[in-house]
């Protein structure tokens, strides 16, 4: 039996697991990390590489190591050129990734890894039972639910009848790839869409790139105000006893569909150079033309055509792990908010050593819960109270 099972090996789960091992709260033999992918952070690294992201949106001190200045030291020790960008010292993505993987190797996270898809969780005989799709089950004193939200892409309703069309891909699908030629339409207005559109304009073999979004480009340094990382906003937030109100605050606090100023300027430069078209408005329907190209019909009666459509429309709005968490919630009468997400105390312990991180912890951690900073906060809380 394990002392800890961490479900999910992305940013959240890897941060918690590495802290458990680094701070000697557990030995390697006592920890099991279950994730659908072969290695830690695989989904994160695949998607960010696909859209050719160069720098993180978050600042230098947000990473997986306990020491906030670890990444800065790592940059100097390994002689990374142009390692930081802008006034907030945003780190190079490749440096952040290598720093993370080195840490996970050093702390022993790699030795705790199990590739598998969790499909069952239950409390039995005073311990947790975690089952995976191949039929195996594992027992543990404690479990951390650290599943990410990006495993289920959001497909807009207008694309339903063409969802499986070969010319249409969602960037969050792990096996999707970028087209090498033709006229490409990118749907979305946030960081993923902006990086994707810009990357495509750099490819000489791509004939044209069109970015379609529902709203004008929104420019913000971060996806939520830094005040949400400390008492400036969180003191008032934690006084809210209505979880319906907390959900509304989270929704309003997140700068959803926004991009950084430097990326905004890059897009405008490509637009002025004639390498990028930008359209704002809602898509009403889609149709395949006789020549195989795809046609998008806009609410303003405009019509856009492309040989490929790339969706950067984010994750589906759903609680991660819902299909196997719902029976557990009913069985153990676990407290949930009207939105269906866990109600947990400061310790992030839902019940009997069952902890949450990431999206599942956001009603306690706040708007930054899904980010790297949120992963650090969750790890600190879990280690403090476990």
Cβ proximity of 364 and 346 under 8 Å = yes
Instruction: Return the number of other C-beta atoms located less than 10 Å from residue 119's C-beta.
Output: 14
Cβ proximity of 109 and 33 under 8 Å = yes
Q: Which CATH superfamily is domain 157-220+255-311 in?
A: FAD/NAD(P)-binding domain (3.50.50.60)
Local confidence band at 302 (pLDDT 50, 70, 90 cut-offs)? confident
- Cα 116 to Cα 40, 133, 134, 201, 349: the distances in Å are 12, 7, 8, 37, 24
pLDDT at 164: 84
Q: Tell me how long the chain is.
A: 386
pLDDT reading at 317 higher than 90 = no
Q: What is the Cα Rg of the chain in Å?
A: 22
Which residues, at least 6 apart from 112, have a Cβ–Cβ distance to it below 8 Å? 6, 17, 21, 28, 31, 32, 33
Structure-token pair, residue 132: 């995976």
Which residue do the tokens 């940059």 mark?
Answer: 75
pLDDT at 310: 96
May I ask the CATH architecture of the domain 2-152+316-385?
A: 3-Layer(bba) Sandwich (3.50)
- Cα 272 to Cα 189, 276, 287, 318: the distances in Å are 18, 8, 29, 39
What rounded mean pLDDT belongs to the chain? 95
Q: What are the E-state strand segments in 160-319?
A: 168-170, 182-187, 206-213, 218-219, 258-259, 277-280, 283-288, 294-298, 303-306, 308-311
Q: Where in the chain is the domain with CATH 3.50.50.60?
A: 2-152+316-385, 157-220+255-311
Q: Give bridge partners of residue 34 from the DSSP assignment.
A: 7, 114
Local confidence band at 58 (pLDDT 50, 70, 90 cut-offs)? very high
Q: What are the backbone dihedrals phi and psi of residue 34, each rounded to the nearest 5 degrees, phi first? A: -110, 125
Local confidence band at 75 (pLDDT 50, 70, 90 cut-offs)? very high
pLDDT at 331: 92
Local confidence band at 237 (pLDDT 50, 70, 90 cut-offs)? very high
pTM comes to 0.95
Query: Average pLDDT, stretch 247-271?
Result: 95
3-state secondary structure of 208: strand
pLDDT at 316: 85
């Amino acid at each position: 039996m394990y002392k800890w099972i961490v479900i999910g090996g992305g940013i959240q789960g890897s941060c918690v697991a590495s802290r458990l091992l680094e701070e000697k709260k557990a030995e390697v033999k006592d920890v099991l990390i279950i994730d659908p992918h072969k290695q830690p952070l695989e989904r994160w690294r695949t998607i960010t590489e696909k859209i050719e992201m160069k720098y993180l949106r978050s600042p230098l001190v947000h990473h997986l190591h306990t020491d906030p200045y670890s990444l800065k030291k790592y940059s100097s020790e390994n002689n990374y050129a142009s390692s930081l960008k802008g006034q907030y010292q945003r780190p190079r993505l490749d440096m952040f990734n290598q720093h993370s993987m080195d840490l996970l190797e050093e702390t022993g996270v790699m030795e705790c890894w199990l590739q598998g898809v969790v499909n069952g969780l239950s409390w039995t005989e005073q311990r947790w039972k975690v089952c995976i799709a191949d039929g195996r089950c594992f027992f543990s004193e404690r479990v951390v639910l650290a599943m990410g939200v990006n495993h289920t892409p959001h497909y807009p309703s207008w694309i339903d009848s063409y969802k499986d069309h070969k010319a249409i891909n969602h960037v969050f699908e792990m096996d999707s790839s970028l087209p090498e030629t033709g006229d490409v339409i990118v749907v979305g207005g946030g960081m993923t869409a902006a990086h994707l559109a810009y990357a495509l304009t750099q490819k000489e073999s791509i004939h044209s790139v069109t970015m379609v979004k529902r709203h004008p480009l929104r420019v913000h340094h971060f996806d939520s105000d830094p005040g949400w990382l400390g008492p400036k906003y969180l003191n008032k937030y934690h006084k809210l006893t209505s979880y319906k109100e907390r959900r509304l605050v989270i929704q309003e606090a997140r700068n959803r569909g926004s991009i950084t100023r430097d990326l905004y300027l890059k897009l405008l430069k490509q637009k002025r150079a004639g390498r990028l078209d930008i359209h704002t408005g809602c898509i009403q329907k889609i149709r395949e033309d006789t020549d195989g190209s795809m046609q998008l019909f806009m609410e303003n009666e405009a019509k856009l055509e492309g040989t490929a459509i790339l969706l950067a429309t984010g994750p589906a709005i759903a609680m991660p792990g819902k299909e196997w968490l719902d029976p557990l919630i009913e069985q153990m009468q676990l407290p949930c908010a009207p939105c269906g997400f866990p109600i947990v105390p400061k310790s992030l312990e839902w019940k009997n050593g069952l902890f949450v991180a990431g999206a599942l912890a956001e009603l306690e951690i706040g708007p930054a819960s899904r980010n790297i900073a949120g992963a650090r906060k969750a790890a600190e809380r879990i280690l403090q109270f476990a």
